A and B are shown apart, each in its own frame.
Chain A
Amino acid sequence: MYDPSIIAASIINGLMTGSVYSLVALGLTLIYGVLHIINFAHGSLLMLCMYGVWFLYAQAGIDPYLALPLVAAGAYCLGYGLQRSVIGKTSHGRDEIILLVTLGVSIIIENIALFVFTANERVVQVPYDIDGIDLGITFLVIPQIAAFVASLAITAALWLFIARTDIGKAIRAVAKERQGARLVGVNVEHIFAVSFGIGTACLGAAACLLAPTFPISPQIGYIFVLIAFTVVVLGGMGSFVGALIGGLIIGVTESLGGLFFGESLGKLGISLIFILILLFRPTGLFGQRT
């Protein structure tokens, strides 16, 4: 049995990692909630955003945290354009086609990345990489703290945006009743693209927070997107609070699993939660029955 301080340290580490899982899942859950599609290109788009962060850092010397607004804005435009000009146009309103189109988009993005950037890992090393706070039981470095705080702040901001603004209302309207929203004058196609754009912008933000810790390669997206799918299922499809809480739960589960059962076996915890949730609460913790 481990010393309580190690367990506490492991939980703290799990919460830090989990917060970024939440942010990645947030984009996924928003896109699902509004467009009712599982976006298979989510991981590839995250990877693309991370290369964007690396590019700004390596070529222009821009700090990844300062690059956040820029990358998020770029990601928004990319997501908006992708939905408006590719996914929306090719889907003909059929969900199964959208699914395949996003899968195709992901394959294209990954292979382009492999061609342009090769499989070599790229690193973004900030000068304050190892600075931070000593909690006694563990040492929290600035990239961890920044990721945690920024993830919570972005989740809160997005929740406020959806709850309070006109576009937020329109997004909720489209999510609930597509035809009804169209009848009262909402430009549904525009709202689809805005939602996809915001979901991708979340990835842009997550990319900035992940880059100082995780080396970037064309496969990096997979790691996070598989976990993000679990988070969305756990939290409930389309639920923001669910994504946040789900991310934190998965982060802690992964961390404690690794501590008690070793790095290889510990990963089983996530899959176990996935199966249990599907068996006993298919709508997720905060999901609504449809």
Chain B
Amino acid sequence: MTDKTKFQLDRRQLVAGTAAVAATTALGMPHIARAADAIKIGLIHPVTGFLQFSGSQCRFGAQLAIDEINKNGGIKSMGGAMLEAVLGDAQSKAEIGAQEVTKMQEAGVAAIVGAYSSGISTATTQEAAKHGIPHVVDVGVSDKIVSRGLTNTFRFGPGFGVIAKQGVKSLIELNKAAGNPVKTVAIVHENSTPFGTGIAKLMTNGLKDAGFEIIETLGHPSPNRDFSNIVLKLKAANADLVIPSNYYNEYVLLARTMQRQRVSPKAIYSVLGGAASQYKFLKEFPEAAQYIMDCNHWFNPKNPKALEVRQATRDGGKFFNYEVFLAYTAMMFVADAMERAGSADRAKITEALASSTWDGHIMPYGPTKIENGQNTGARPLNTQIIGKEIEVIAPAEYATAKAAFPRPA
């Protein structure tokens, strides 16, 4: 009996409640419509799984850009439309990344920024192409990403080929400028992915042609927890230059083991070195990191805006690593295109991206020129860890310090 009364009361309440909700919805309609005006941007990154650190850094960089745009009044050509991030987690797997694109399609995003690694980016760009969603790749350096004829796919930063070529060229120039102190080279590379082996091969060929003698090439798997043997071999080889080509953890361990075993070649030089231009490495192992040189993604250190973004990143408790400024710039690149397109229409954004001449960025790339989706002005810089800072040592127009090469004893 009591139950029945309760039910009847509930039913009355239900009717009243429904009416109230309907009224509120009607009153709230204009507000909801305004919220729908926000332009959705898909951010797909591997924020869990083994790429979690880098993926989170990327997400942070892209969100930093979105916050900045919104703070400065949104997309002005669209009446100050705000940007709204739709977050996706690729879980460090390419297939999950592709699934996330489908979710982005359902959410109705205007563009996608992502997806850190080459493998995931290859999958996400392809899936985005099916739906005609413009996709700007923030990091993924594999040149296959932009050579498949996908008209929706763009990369603002440099690819593997450009970086490797520049890496070899810079090293030869550095050596020449210092009076050719380096004659013999030892390469330590990871051999679990195409990255380490690929760089090792390119460096070997490039340096052999320039007259260097490669006296030792040592491979190791990723992950690898012990570099004792490799360092013993490096000690025996006594090469003038050591080129490590591996990911962050192994790079750090190798540098530490070399330091422990007192192996100090005239220089340590990397191309896309895992830790060679990472503030985390410098903070945690300042001594092992000293004088290590790298040819890698880097911001324009002479651009005051870049230094502002670096400060904002540090204030946010993150390291200003390449993931952050590349994702930040990729997002800004999309925003600039939307500003010019004056529309959230995917085709119009794609067109604006393809014809971009954007030069208001923090990278050392000059005005943007897109060819087959790739920004042709994109280039790496040469950095060196000197004291408590990561300095740019080449090319001269961006240099903040003179190279310590060969490194002081």
Using a CB–CB cutoff of 8 Å, the interface residues on chain A facing chain B are 2-3, 6, 9-10, 13, 17, 118-121, 123, 125, 129-130, 132, 134, 138-139, 141, 214-215, 223, 254-255, 258-259, 262-264, 266-267
Contacts and interface: CB of A to CB of B under 8 A. Distances in A.
The majority secondary structure among interface residues of chain A is mixed
B236 A139 contact: no
Interface in B235-286: 236, 249, 252-253, 256, 259-262, 284-285
Contacts of B53: 118-120
A49 to B, nearest CB: 17
Nearest to A143: B260
Among B218, B232, B253, B262, the one with the most A-chain Cβ atoms within 10 Å of its Cβ is: B232
A163 B253 CA distance: 41
Contacts of B49: 119
B166 interface: no
Given A6-B236, A119-B53, A139-B260, A263 B253 contact: no
Given A17-B226, A130-B259, A264-B220, A259 B232 contact: yes
A139 to B, nearest CB: 5
A10 B232 CA distance: 8
B193 interface: no
Given A13-B228, A17-B228, A258-B228, 19 more contacts: A2-B236, A10-B229, A118-B52, A120-B52, A125-B285, A129-B256, A138-B232, A139-B261, A139-B262, A215-B253, A254-B226, A255-B228, A255-B229, A259-B229, A262-B218, A262-B219, A263-B219, A264-B221, A266-B229
B233 interface: yes
B50 interface: yes
Given A119-B50, A120-B52, A139-B260, A125 B284 contact: yes
Nearest to A131: B260
Interface in B42-80: 48-50, 52-53
Contact of A263 (B48, B221, B249, B284): B221
A264 B232 contact: no
Instruction: In the A-B complex, list the 7 residue pairs whose CB atoms are closest, starting with the nearest.
Output: A263-B220, A258-B229, A13-B228, A119-B52, A259-B229, A264-B221, A141-B260
A263 B224 contact: yes
Contacts of A223: 225
Contacts of A118: 52-53
B259 A215 contact: no
A129 B260 CA distance: 8
In the complex, which of the residues B228, B229, B253, B256 has the most CB atoms of chain A within 10 Å of its own CB atom?
B229
B191 interface: yes
Interface of B: 48-50, 52-53, 191, 218-221, 224-226, 228-230, 232-233, 236, 249, 252-253, 256, 259-262, 284-285, 287
A125 to B, nearest CB: 7
Contacts of A6: 232-233, 236
Contacts of B218: 262-263
B225 A214 contact: yes
A266 B260 CA distance: 23
28 contacts: A3-B236, A6-B233, A6-B236, A9-B232, A10-B229, A13-B228, A13-B229, A118-B53, A119-B48, A119-B50, A119-B52, A119-B53, A129-B260, A130-B287, A132-B260, A139-B261, A215-B249, A215-B252, A258-B226, A258-B228, A258-B230, A259-B233, A263-B224, A263-B229, A264-B219, A264-B220, A264-B221, A266-B229
Nearest to A3: B236
A215 B226 CA distance: 11
A53 to B, nearest CB: 16
A139 B263 CA distance: 10
B47 to A, nearest CB: 10
A17 B257 CA distance: 14
Contacts of A267: 221
Contacts of A214: 225
B365 to A, nearest CB: 30
